[in-house]
Amino acid sequence: MTEQVAEKTEVTQESKMESWTSSEKENSKKVYGCEIMIENGTWEQVTTKECPNDAHIIKYEVDGETRYDLTRSQKVVNIFNMYWDKFRDGLKSIEYGKGAYNPKLWGAKPPKEKKK
């Protein structure tokens, strides 16, 4: 019986760590035109150079805990609107990401080598 209680507390703690539900993530693309690449990551994770250069680092606060997301969109105002609608006063800052890749080439597969 105590094992079940321990499992339930672990699940609730994990669900508290997620700021976005899966349906909210899917709707963010349709409604706001934003893609959440990293949710509730560490500073080292969101400042990676292995992402497109149109990604932005969003700093926000939930239950007294500071969290970081890496989100991309064509317009920063769309990112602001999405986070403002969700967190209101918890939104602390939106900064440029450290990405080094062209957004047009992000996720593109290299061309196959031709046989000679």
Distance of alpha carbon 77 from alpha carbon 74, whole angstroms: 9
What pLDDT is attached to residue 115?
Answer: 78
Q: What is the DSSP letter of 52?
A: B
6-15, 76-85, 88-97: which range is least confident on average? 6-15
Burial class of residue 78 (count of CB atoms within 10 Å of its CB; 0-12, 13-18, 19+): middle
Confidence of residue 12 (pLDDT cuts 50, 70, 90): very low
pLDDT, tens digit, for every residue of 19-62?
A: 888 888 888 999 999 999 999 999 999 999 999 999 999 999 99
Percent of the residues in the chain that have a pLDDT greater than 90, as a whole number = 57
